[in-house]
Structure 1
Amino acid sequence: MTVSRTQRQTKTRTTALACLGLVVGMTALAFAFVPLYDLFCKATGYDGTPLRGTAASGPASQDRMVVHFDTNVAPGLPWRFQPETPQIEAQLGATQTVFFRVTNTGTAPSTGIATFNLQPGLTGGYFVKVQCFCFNEQTLQPGETMDFPVVFYVEPGIKADSNTRDLTEMTLSYTYFASKNGQPQAALAAPTRTRPN
């Protein structure tokens, strides 16, 4: 059986269109992956992403967890950044407030934006932030200091989860980056760790 030239051209065109559709679909999926993954992490607390919510409404537990606070400033942003305390012992289910102080040590106004992470990553699904300065641009004048609160609670269910019930500590880590158009400008170098004096 011989295939006519027209039939070969039709098959070639169909194959080319299918391949083009596959490339376009994969490209669209690649662009959609980042926001979808971000939504998934925010909804589930996966990979150390704290949940967002309202103030704790259930009863507090007698259990406690030590929450450490780690602050970093990316190279190129002349800021000093530190928590009011390096750690607290948080009662599970009770709302806590901790302030963070940021000072522009440079000679010109500068704008920064903070990102965050929680470790161990499994604790992200139980750490609920009620109020946070993260992902909000802050502009500081030379020498200006501002205090920003973080209001949070740790869900008592962390002790019922077989993966997290033996944990006694977690670390909430923030990094300030120089900001441009509301987006952090990550430097190639590692963040500079700052500690309270």
Structure 2
Amino acid sequence: MEKISAIARLSQLNRQLGYKLLVIVAMALAFAYGLVPLYDVLCRVTGLNGKTENVAVSAQSRVDTSRWVEVSFTSNVMPGLAWSFHPVQSSIRVHPGKIETVTFIARNMANETVAGQAVPSVSPGKASEYFKKIECFCFQRQDLKAGESREMPLRFYVSPDIPDDVKALTLSYAFYSAIK
């Protein structure tokens, strides 16, 4: 009788441990899920990692025609994504406040439809809060059919509030494979 009682007690303890472990796993998943938006907010507030705010503008802001800012464009395709991706022009000179449009070309080199997501970064970091994207392919996942090429426009402006000592900035895109 004591043997059955001990087995029942051990079984009850194992169930309790299993429930506790399930709660810990659920909490860890919720914590990991919550880190992404927290990281985005931190980057947006601090300019960390060159993240910029997605900005929609109803009217063009004031244009500072007294100065120029050189904006360079770079691109990378991360391993696992069979794409080629590059800007049509490597740089442009802009007047702060003037809305500009540049184009990037993406091509799927795979024999199947592949989805990708672009992640932007602006350097120097202090310039990131002054780089405002109005329309960008990076706002959503991009699906390209096998062999398909696509022009991807980027509409942006550099805020006229950018410090005078920032005369050049670089916008880099890294394209990652996106889960379907």
Q: TM-score, normalised by structure 2?
A: 0.75
Q: Indicate the residue corresponding to 2:10 in structure 1.
A: none
- Alpha-carbon deviations, 1:132-158, whole Å to 9, x = none? 111412121221111111110001111
Task: Please tell me whether residue 100 in structure 1 is matched to residue 104 in structure 2.
Answer: yes
For the Cα contact (< 8 Å) 1:137–1:179, is it kept in 2? yes
SS at match of 2:112: coil
**Where do residues 1-197 of structure 1 align in structure 2 (5 Å cutoff)?**
32-43=34-45, 45-55=47-57, 57-62=60-65, 63-159=67-163, 165-181=164-180
Distance in 2, Cα, partners of 1:36 & 1:138:
24
For the Cα contact (< 8 Å) 1:46–1:125, is it kept in 2? no
- Alpha-carbon deviations, 1:25-78, whole Å to 9, x = none? x97777644422312433564441122222353220021110000011011211
Percent identity of the aligned residues? 36
For the Cα contact (< 8 Å) 2:50–2:120, is it kept in 1? no
Q: 1:34–1:177: structure 2 CA closer, same or farther, 3 Å change rule? A: closer
Q: TM-score, normalised by structure 1?
A: 0.69
Q: Which has the higher helix share?
A: 2
Q: 1:76–1:32: structure 2 CA closer, same or farther, 3 Å change rule? A: closer
- Alpha-carbon deviations, 1:83-124, whole Å to 9, x = none? 110000011000011111101112222111111111111111
How many corresponding residue pairs?
Answer: 152
Distance in 2, Cα, partners of 1:33 & 1:179:
19
Unaligned runs of 5+ residues in structure 1 are 1-22, 160-164, 182-197
Unaligned runs of 5+ residues in structure 2 are 1-23
C-alpha deviation, 1:169, in angstroms: 0.9
Give the residue type in structure 2 aligned to 1:76: G
Judge which range, 122-131 or 46-55, deviates more: 46-55
